[in-house]
Chain A
Amino acid sequence: MSEQPTRRDVLGHAARGAALLGLGGLGAYVARKGGLAGPWQIDAGLCINTRLGLVGLDACQLCATSCVLPLSAVRAVNDHAKCGRCYICPAYFDVKSALDEHGLPSGKLCPRDAIIRKPIGDIDPRDPANNYYEYVIDETRCNGCGLCVLACKEPAGLTSLRLEVRYNLCTNCNRCSIAQACPKNAYERRPARTT
């Protein structure tokens, strides 16, 4: 048998609710004043995998290995407007692997097989090596290791690949462990941009 709430109970609940709201607002204010506004983002211009221009160097894989999540919140992103859509994409294929009878590398670069390759547009069956190919990141597999970003360099690559933090996955830690590890300080909090 429940008792009817008293006037005192109602006022007490209201006061506690107001206090919680106030604390939340104060927290948000402090966070903003403390420079914590905005989600973590990667400045692609600073990312070492984007900047390194030499084939043969090792990729920095700290985005994949430093995140507190089991599968990092960082993903590779392919800018399709920039992508060369090549037959032999050095970010997709392990170009050092053995060649098949068509001269295509038999191995893939991505250790998690997270890039999907498919022909697009008009297909010229007489010339399959010059059809366009679309390279899409399978975000359920990608862990943001950056191997493909490092490989997408001229002359075959056009630097169309970059790493991004996925907001829906990122837990937005105050002290992001990847930011702590990043050798180029490419991580920073910035207001989310729509473009």
Chain B
Amino acid sequence: MRSVTLGLLVLCSAVTLGARARADDWPQFRGPNRDGISRETGLLHKWPAGGPKVLWTTDACQGYAAAAIHSGRVYFEDYDREAKEYLVRCLTLADGKELWRFKESKTLRPNHGITRAVPAVDGEHVFTLDPKCIFHCLDAKTGREVWRKDLVETYKTEIPPWYNGQCPLIEPDRVVIGVGGDAVLVALDKATGNEIWRTPNSEKWPLSHSSVMPATLGGVKQYVWCTLFGPLGVRAEDGKLLWHHERKFNVAVATSPLPIGDDRVFMTAGYDAGSVMVRVAKDAGGEFKSQTVFELTTEQWNSEVHTPILFDQHMFAVGKKQRGLFTCLDLDGKAVWTSADQAFFGLGSYLLADGMFFVLEGDTGMLRLLDANTTAYRELDHAQLLSGDNVWGPMTLSNGKLVLRDMTKMICIDVAGQTTSSSSSARGEAMGITALRAATTPGPTPRIVLCSAAEDRVPSATTADALRMGYRKVRSIDAKGEGPGQFADELRGLAIRGDELYAVGDSQVVVFSLEGKVQRTWKTGRPGTAVAVAPDGAVYVGEESQIEIFERDGKLRDTWRDADRFGLVTAIGFAGDAVLIGDVGDRCIRRYDKSGKFQANIGRDSHKRGFMLPNRHLDFVVDPNGVILVANPGQHRIERYSSSGDLLGQFGQFSETDPAGFPGCCNPTNIALGPRGEIVVTEKAAPRVKVYNSGGELRAVMGEAGFDPNCKNMDVAVDARGRVYVADTERLQIVVFEATTATSHSASAPASRESQP
């Protein structure tokens, strides 16, 4: 019986190991081999409905400091701004429970983030170089400090601008760091901190953010590093400086040298420094010399923050050009492929595991899963897991769990499918966002699914499918003219309430039946630029520097003027008791209460200090849950905000070729919501209307060549049956489209632009 039990245990273990083919620690910067590659296998190549499960979330101070993972424990540096304490925190990988935290009083002011470095862990000790260049050795089990070394005192190190960014290199018996000041590099005994060797710094090279990398060059094990004065190599055995490749870098060197084999080292950096491939070899006298193999200018290719990953005799990295293209370079520095027209990664990080690149969009927090190959950009999946910009921290993978962070939190997600999926709403709560998630079924077209927390999965569709699902034009309401109910010069805004269509332009409001018959008209104080109907039936008209509020019959009820906050009003909406005003002047949405008292701005906290509106038009719509969807044309995307102004998510990207993307300088310009949550947008330049489902999948394109080509900022509204009404701003017509059967809608739900009765 005992042997049977033992046999079952062995069998269970074998099955478990078979399912989870291989797991690794990630004990230091860039993983176990410092190459950005995890050797784990058995990871998901397609994520489950709603994207990877978020296992845990923890707050983190602003910064880019990533985790190291060893034996199921997560170690990372952090900062408590209230207590002014530098922290090293230890969490369990499984559930994010904090086991200990090391604290040290330290005043650190935000300087483009505070924390930057990744600890190194050997299971017994945790090594961290804090922002003020004090090197700590902590007991990995308790967090107790074992020894410390103040680099400023010991080596006269000058703390680099933006604090320390260097991540220690851990070796079996030592830890190696660059120090600047009196020494270039030092090797310290792990147990005591005693110096094993130092490399004299006769040139007084200052400390950089670059991290030391191990390499074998010319048959000699070396540690290679880079300062503002160029890459260098020292002998691992005794720290002797073997070579230095003189090359000037600018401002800061955040990347690390990348040994690529054949005695070559690739180095790239930002601030116009470009990239260089160096070959290091012994000369006739046995001295190491470096020579340039090739150089790349910034216009050709460079990376500013992250070090490329060497895979299959190619280098993969996010390049600086064109808002961050993920690029496959051959070893001669030629780009084999990029993510152009498909994705832009800013200064986001990446790692390689199980034949896939996990790549973060640095400006949005979107995580994309890419097939690792040397032939083409191929995306396997994506999910909006983090938010905000400056999502630059490296990622860490261990035991099927990916740990990543933005400027406010660190999260752990399951990328091995080891745990059952949670509901999107539960995950949204855990992440502090409403679910903005990846599509669930395979397809060649990049897709983003944008759902309310309560919404179930939405059907997926390729672009080709989407284009087959059509709308047809059913009528045009010709409103051009000098007569009653006609517009002579401008048609700017549309709104629908019940069976009435409200249009503004010139200095009047015209109310049509949905069939286009004029019901009534009235004058406005100034030319109307936006119109919306409140839940109580009041008609709000946006104008330059003011809002006029009318009764349903056109009687003026009130006029709001706010000289400081109304520039040009091009959109109005309602969320609960709040009235939302889109102000082009300050590129934001103003929130007022019903009495006209200002409450808050929405959209001003973005990196650009507002929406990007080169076309001087801002439009948004409020969904039935009070979530605000904003067309941000300069950023080529739709953004979602809570009524309190928190960015919940976004979708969309620039593309001149893919209909799912947004072309030109600034699109989409206008937005409306249909009764089933479909998102209807209009574009200028080549004027057209597009329909996305609630998840951001393109479902239909209409009106190409059907509008006057000079149309811009065409307002749009949707009725309860899903019919789309679009203002042709040149012909002064209202063009009506009706969904064909593939996307037809019942009349059961109200349209979002239409107020609730």
| A interface list, Cβ under 8 A from B | 43, 45-46, 53-56, 79, 82, 84-88, 90, 93, 95-96, 98-99, 101-103, 105, 121-122, 124, 126-127, 129-130, 132, 154-156, 158-159, 193-195
Contacts and interface: CB of A to CB of B under 8 A. Distances in A.
B298 A55 contact: yes
20 contacts: A45-B612, A45-B613, A45-B634, A54-B320, A56-B298, A82-B609, A85-B111, A87-B162, A90-B271, A95-B272, A96-B248, A96-B250, A122-B107, A130-B111, A130-B163, A155-B112, A155-B305, A155-B347, A159-B607, A193-B567
Classify chain B's interface size: 35 or more
Given A103-B206, A155-B270, A195-B586, A56 B158 contact: no
A193 B159 contact: no
Nearest to B610: A45
Contacts of A54: 298-299, 320-321
A130 B159 CA distance: 8
A130 B161 contact: yes
Most chain B beta-carbon neighbours within 10 Å: one of A88, A127, A159, A193: A127
A95 B250 contact: yes
In the A-B complex, the 10 residue pairs with the closest CB atoms: A103-B206, A87-B161, A95-B250, A129-B161, A127-B159, A56-B298, A195-B564, A95-B251, A55-B272, A95-B271
Contacts of A96: 248, 250, 272
A90 B614 contact: no
Interface in B124-163: 132, 152, 158-163
Does more than half of chain B's interface fall in helix, strand or loop, or is it mixed?
Answer: loop
B2 interface: no
A195 B565 contact: yes
Given A124-B107, A127-B132, A132-B109, A88 B251 contact: yes
Contacts of B304: 155
Contacts of A102: 158, 206
A156 B251 contact: yes
Most chain A beta-carbon neighbours within 10 Å: one of B271, B298, B586: B271
Nearest to A98: B248
Given A103-B228, A130-B163, 6 more contacts: A55-B298, A56-B298, A90-B251, A95-B271, A98-B248, A156-B112
Interface string B179-193: 000000000000000
B563 interface: yes
A133 to B, nearest CB: 10
A82 B605 CA distance: 11
Contacts of B297: 56
A194 B563 contact: yes
B324 to A, nearest CB: 10
Contact of B159 (A45, A82, A126, A195): A126
B587 interface: yes
A62 B321 CA distance: 25
B596 interface: no
Contact of B132 (A87, A93, A121, A126): A126
A154 B586 CA distance: 22
Contact of B271 (A85, A86, A156): A156
A8 to B, nearest CB: 47
B323 interface: yes
B564 A154 contact: no
A99 B248 contact: yes
A129 B158 contact: yes
Most chain B beta-carbon neighbours within 10 Å: one of A45, A46, A105: A45
Nearest to A81: B609
A159 B609 CA distance: 10
Interface string B290-319: 000000011100001100000000000000
Contacts of A90: 251, 271
B252 interface: yes
Nearest to B131: A130
B112 to A, nearest CB: 6
Nearest to B160: A129
Interface string B601-619: 0000001110011101000
Given A84-B111, A86-B112, A130-B109, A99 B228 contact: yes
Contacts of B616: 43
A109 B198 CA distance: 37
Given A99-B229, A155-B270, A156-B271, A88 B609 contact: no
Contacts of A84: 111-112
B557 interface: no
Contacts of A86: 111-112, 161-162
A3 B182 CA distance: 95
Nearest to B297: A56
B250 A56 contact: no
Interface in B554-613: 563-565, 567, 585-587, 607-609, 612-613
B517 interface: no
Contacts of B228: 99, 103
Contacts of A132: 109, 111
A37 B228 CA distance: 52
Contacts of B152: 126-127
A159 B607 CA distance: 9
Most chain A beta-carbon neighbours within 10 Å: one of B132, B161, B252, B321: B161
A45 B614 contact: yes
A66 B271 CA distance: 29
A95 B273 CA distance: 10
B204 interface: yes
Interface string B105-121: 00101011000000000
A124 B229 CA distance: 26
B194 to A, nearest CB: 24
A68 B352 CA distance: 57
A35 B417 CA distance: 63
Most chain A beta-carbon neighbours within 10 Å: one of B251, B272, B613: B251
A167 to B, nearest CB: 17
Contacts of A101: 204
A132 to B, nearest CB: 7
Given A55-B272, A88-B161, A159 B608 contact: yes
